[in-house]
Amino acid sequence: MDERKAIARLKQGDIKGLETLVRKYQVTATRTAYLITRDRAAAEEIVQAAFLRAYERIGQFDSGRSFGPWFLRSVVNDAVKYASRNSQLVSIEADEEEETALSDFLADPAPGPEDLVEAEERRQIVWDALGTLPPQQRAVIVMRYYLGLSEAEIGEHLDCPLGTVKWRLHAARKRLQELLHSLQASRETGR
Amino acid sequence: MKDQNIIQTLNEIAEDGIPASLDMWSAIKDRLQPGRPVSRLVRWTPVTRLGRACLMLVALLLLGGTVYALNPALDQVFRAFFPGWQYVEESHLAQEVGLSQTIGGVTVTLERAYADANEIIIGYTVTGASEAAHASHISLTDEQGRVFPEIAGAGVSGTSDLLGVQLRPGEGAYVSAFDASIVDGTPVTLSFHLTMHLVRFVPAEQPAPAATLPEPTGSTVTIAPALTMREEIVGGPFVFDFSVPFTPGRSIAVHQTVEASGVAVRLEKVIIAPSETRAILCFAPPDGADHWTLIATLNAGNGEEVPLSFVSPLEGGSYEYCQRASFPQPLHDRSGLYKLTVTELMGADLTQIPTRDIRLAGPWVFHFRVP
């Protein structure tokens, strides 16, 4: 069943339509919530609640639009709310002079056996650095780099103007760069 | 290519955390209410994105970047009624509900909802009513059918100089708060079923008879019948199903007992959440009165004595008389040594006319640390 038919059936009260949408979006939605909340159980609960809410409100949904952005917007907002309530930000002193790009830091053009360990460490460093970002900035990074949304689409998701998105994205990137360097430096010192 | 590395790393983290085999359909199916009528789903009037976008644009132009998606009159009621509202809004803790239902030309829109360990608070607007109408017979239940008692409410219709609000005839903005004590643990979200009727006040057909009270001097005082009013239903039931993120707050188990004036008062626990700070205080009711309340202040370590806003008895009390003392000031970000002082216990014997009051002076002072 394609998405359009699924929504039409759901609007008629047929939960088979919901099942189609759940199976299509559950993994992406839960991973998105997980990256923002950093808590798998919370991510699953948020996504389940979002599907239930979608079921309740499908009458409001414009069938001419795609379900995915409408649904993921709800998941992102709930994940940010959850993360805001449970945020325990780690304060890390970053070197304001460092301007090496995050992508340079992450560059790994020739993965070999030794690099597999580095890849694992790289994931851990990014994970830790993400955790130190305020939830709104974390959400912007996740939407831009995990969901692949444009800045305009992020603005639509977060109900904020394009300028605010650009600023948040810039601030998030900058903050992430600083944190990555600080984390890497502290790990190298600890070796 | 560089961005590709970021994308790859985030994808790897996401795949590590959430496997592709994840299947939550059976869990979702179990949570769906069986036999739900379809017609209810299509009765909702959509609140259009375009309308909200225009409101936000106007607000941005007027307020220089501050976004107020909430109905302005309702925002004023929230702020007047709920001291912690600004923090809740700025922290995005409230749920934008945006569900509308129209019955007989009257539209009720459930705009905002918020839930923490102390209270569940909803904000709704009314349009199209022929005269000032407010909600009554409000019932809030959860998926298990548990009832959340309404403990307070506020609202505005017409013109309010105090709030700076001028509404058109038939419009109103209202906030209701429900006790959240029965919420177990720290769920991520809570799902609710809300029903309400709109009512208006009309004069009662049969005025209450005059009351005659004996005075100690032997004379009598006759009290003229008050103009009694009754509620008349003008619309409903309005029915809403919605979910709200849950803010757990901080719960501090204190279990301290202090004795003064021959009465031992125990501070059981304190729950600090954005809606209010709540202290649970228990004592064996002294002789001479059957209804007791207390006066207390709370000092959050900053020297300011915050007076309590209201006291209500806990449900299901036994020999002990446990009270729920609420302090409305937002203390959610205050840590350190707190001091709660019960300055007085006040009892009333309602079987006596006039009622006999007893006042017992304290103080009962409790110190506890909030992490």
How distant is the alpha carbon of residue B317 from its chain centre?
22
Question: By the 8 A CB rule, do B119 and B140 touch?
Answer: no
Tell how strand B336-349 and strand B291-299 pair up. Answer: antiparallel
A97-118: per-residue pLDDT in tens?
Answer: 333 334 444 444 444 444 444 6
Question: By the 8 A CB rule, do B276 and B115 touch?
Answer: no
B116-166: per-residue pLDDT in tens?
Answer: 999 999 999 888 887 666 777 789 999 888 999 888 777 787 777 767 777
Most confident of the ranges A170-184, B57-71, B149-163, B274-288: B274-288
**Facing residue for B6 by CB, picked from A60, A84, A102:** A102
| For residues B194-200, average pLDDT | 86
- The pLDDT value recorded for residue A102 is 41
Task: Give B-chain residues touching A78 at CB under 8 angstroms.
Answer: 189, 245
ipTM above 0.95, yes or no: no
* Residue scoring higher pLDDT (B357 or A16): A16
Q: How far apart are CA B323 and CA B294, in angstroms?
A: 8
- In the 8-state DSSP scheme, what is residue B132? -
Task: Give B-chain residues touching A89 at CB under 8 angstroms.
Answer: none
Mutate which of B102, B143, B189 to test chain A, going by most A C-beta atoms within 10 A? B189
Q: How far apart are CA A46 and CA B254, in angstroms?
A: 33
Report DSSP letters for chain A, one per residue. Answer: --HHHHHHHHHTT-HHHHHHHHHHHHHHHHHHHHHHH--HHHHHHHHHHHHHHHHHHGGGS-TTS-HHHHHHHHHHHHHHHHHHHH--PPP----TT----HHHHH---S--HHHHHHHHHHHHHHHHHHHHS-HHHHHHHIIIIIS---HHHHHHHHT--HHHHHHHHHHHHHHHHHHHHHHHHHHHHH-
Task: Note whether B61 contacts A: Cβ–Cβ < 8 A.
Answer: no
Residue of chain A whose Cα is closest to the Cα of B47: A60
Task: Note whether B87 contacts A: Cβ–Cβ < 8 A.
Answer: no
Most confident of the ranges A65-79, B21-35, B159-173, B267-281: B267-281
* Angle, helix A151-158 to helix A67-86, in steps of 10 degrees: 70
- Residue A52 and residue B31: Cβ atoms within 8 Å? yes
Task: Note whether B67 contacts A: Cβ–Cβ < 8 A.
Answer: yes
Strand order in the sheet with B263-273: B250-260, B263-273, B276-283, B321-327, B310-313
Chain B nearest C-alpha distance from A77 (Å): 9
Q: How far apart are CA A129 and CA A127, in angstroms?
A: 5
* Residue scoring higher pLDDT (A116 or B268): B268
**Facing residue for A81 by CB, picked from B25, B43, B92:** B92
Q: What angle do CA A57, A40, A160 make, to 5 degrees?
A: 50
Mutate which of A26, A31, A122 to test chain B, going by most B C-beta atoms within 10 A? A31
Question: By the 8 A CB rule, do A149 and A157 touch?
Answer: yes
One-letter amino acid at A152 equals: A
Q: Quick count: other Cβ atoms within 10 Å of Cβ B258?
A: 19
Task: Give B-chain residues touching A49 at CB under 8 angstroms.
Answer: 188-189, 191, 243
Q: How far apart are CA B171 and CA B190, in angstroms?
A: 29
Strand order in the sheet with B356-370: B305-307, B291-299, B336-349, B356-370
One-letter amino acid at B219 equals: S
Q: CA separation (Å) from B82 to B2, B85, B280? A: 48, 5, 20
* Residue scoring higher pLDDT (B205 or B342): B342
Q: Is the peptide bond before B354 cis (omega within 30 degrees of 0)?
A: yes
- The pLDDT value recorded for residue B149 is 87
Question: By the 8 A CB rule, do A146 and B14 touch?
Answer: yes
Question: By the 8 A CB rule, do A92 and A132 touch?
Answer: yes
- The pLDDT value recorded for residue B199 is 80
* Residue scoring higher pLDDT (B265 or A173): B265
The residue whose two tokens read 């000032």 is B132
- In the 8-state DSSP scheme, what is residue B199? E
**pLDDT higher than threshold 80 for residue A161:** no
Task: Give A-chain residues touching B22 at CB under 8 angstroms.
Answer: 26-27, 30, 44
